[in-house]
């Protein structure tokens, strides 16, 4: 078992552009042209290939590119008891585009069972070596909680949970059990992807919750509570990080706003080992909130964007790293892209070649800053 621990000075979030071979195989399977075994064999082959490429690029974390899922978050939720989904009705409005998602909702109390993602992890883990460690990414507990209380789902949820407190408790417990499953499978580096904090920053969120008659500070407290509840009792030798962004779908975004209004919660109080933070443009605001990050956490600055192919100016990125170091020591900082390259199967608007050029730039900059 690899003893390496995330995050690394140069790192990445987790998802990669799906290769055409995999896209075609999934299409063929949906049309009944190939069997499930044939699809799985092709997926295995594509995972092996993406891991080989990650290693060749010199990175120390390896992921399966999220190739076995359609969406960065929903597929994981489908692995709980009490959760159902259907192809229609799950669209979410992003900036200039509707994200084509699947409706995901409760049909009973949410409980853990043998989770398929743990089996996916086991396949990935075999590729660890002395220079690399397997990292697995799943949606944060807060993401699952929010999914079940959005307006289109709240009536269904209330059939099983009369208030949010019991829902929070059940989600926290279900995550605890799945985290244990990952640990027993040999996972020592788990990443919780979380758009909930990004969704409540900025003035638009304040107005939205005010119109609903909801106290936004109570919302923040609930997000923190469910995330920390899930982490209670986690093994001491298991690194759990959180990636926070404002939505990433086909190079579009869901929301904008600085971290200032949530820093006292997630930066200061969430019990993770590191935060991977979106900081690739002005939508994320300045670095001052980093002063609120508790001293036990590292921060991975997402300064390189996956939303467009143009490469960033190296010197400008280096300057931004040193700006951030005014608020948190440089030795607690790392560098990565702001998000994955394909949070959903559709992927962002760049090529595979451009994807690897982005990661090459991340590595070059990190090696120059942290010599």
Q: Is residue 166 part of a domain?
A: yes
What's the structural domain count of the chain?
1
Note if the bond before 7 is cis, omega within 30 degrees. Answer: yes
Residue 253 reports pLDDT greater than 70? no
- Per residue in 121-164, pLDDT (tens digit) is 999 999 999 999 999 999 999 999 999 998 889 999 999 999 99
CATH number at residue 212: 3.20.20.210
Asked, for residue 215, whether it belongs to a domain, the answer is: yes
Q: Provide mean pLDDT across the span 309-338.
A: 98
Task: Kindly state whether residue 25 falls inside one of the protein's structural domains.
Answer: no
How distant is the alpha carbon of residue 161 from its chain centre?
27
In whole angstroms, give the CA distance from residue 108 to residue 208: 29
What does the pLDDT read at residue 238? 98
Beta bridge mates, 337: 304
Q: Please, which pLDDT band fits residue 247 given cuts at 50, 70 and 90?
A: confident
Nearest to 309 by CA among 258, 351, 265: 351
- Is residue 101 scored above 90 in pLDDT? no
- The single-letter DSSP state of residue 185 is T
**Within a domain: residue 17?**
no
User: Is residue 244 domain-resident?
Assistant: yes
Please state whether beta strands 92-94 and 97-99 pair in parallel, antiparallel, or not at all (unpaired): antiparallel
Whole-number Å distance between alpha carbons of 264 and 267: 6
Is residue 105 included in any domain, yes or no? Answer: yes
| Containing structural domain, residue 275 | 53-369
Residue 8 domain-assigned?
no
pLDDT higher than 70, residue 99: no
Q: Is 136 helix (H, G, I), strand (E, B) or coil?
A: strand
In a domain, 245, yes or no: yes
Query: What is the chain's mean pLDDT, rounded?
Result: 94
């Amino acid at each position: 078992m690899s003893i390496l621990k995330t995050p690394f000075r140069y790192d990445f979030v987790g998802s990669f552009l799906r290769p055409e071979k995999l896209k075609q195989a999934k299409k063929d399977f949906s049309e009944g042209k190939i069997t499930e075994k044939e699809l799985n064999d092709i997926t295995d082959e594509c995972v092996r290939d993406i891991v080989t490429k990650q290693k060749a690029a010199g990175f120390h974390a390896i992921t399966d590119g999220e190739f076995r899922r359609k969406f960065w978050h929903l597929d994981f939720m489908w692995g709980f008891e009490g959760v159902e989904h259907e192809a229609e009705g799950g669209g979410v409005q992003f900036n200039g585009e509707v994200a084509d998602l699947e409706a995901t909702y409760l049909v009973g109390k949410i409980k853990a069972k043998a989770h398929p993602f743990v089996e996916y992890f086991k396949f990935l883990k075999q590729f660890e070596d002395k220079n690399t460690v397997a990292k697995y990414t799943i949606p944060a507990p807060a993401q699952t909680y929010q999914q079940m209380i959005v307006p289109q789902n709240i009536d269904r949820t209330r059939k099983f949970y009369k208030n949010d407190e019991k829902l929070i408790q059940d989600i926290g417990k279900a995550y605890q059990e799945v985290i244990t499953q990952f640990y027993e499978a040999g996972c020592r580096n788990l990443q919780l992807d979380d758009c909930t904090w990004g969704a409540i920053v900025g003035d638009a969120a304040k107005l939205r919750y005010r119109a609903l008659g909801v106290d936004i500070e109570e919302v923040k407290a609930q997000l923190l509570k469910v995330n920390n509840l899930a982490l209670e009792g986690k093994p001491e030798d298991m690194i759990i990080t959180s990636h926070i962004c404002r939505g990433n779908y086909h190079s579009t975004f869901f929301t904008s706003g600085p971290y200032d209004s949530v820093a006292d919660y997630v930066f200061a109080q969430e019990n993770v080992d590191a935060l991977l933070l979106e900081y690739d443009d002005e939508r994320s605001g300045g670095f001052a909130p980093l002063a609120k990050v508790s001293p036990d956490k590292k921060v991975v600055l997402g300064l390189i964007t996956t939303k467009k192919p143009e490469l960033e100016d190296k010197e400008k990125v280096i300057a931004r790293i040193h700006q951030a170091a005014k608020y948190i020591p440089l030795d607690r900082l790392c560098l990565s892209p702001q998000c994955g390259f394909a949070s959903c199967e559709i992927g962002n608007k760049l090529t595979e070649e451009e994807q690897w050029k982005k990661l090459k730039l991340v590595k070059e900059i990190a090696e120059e800053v942290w010599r």
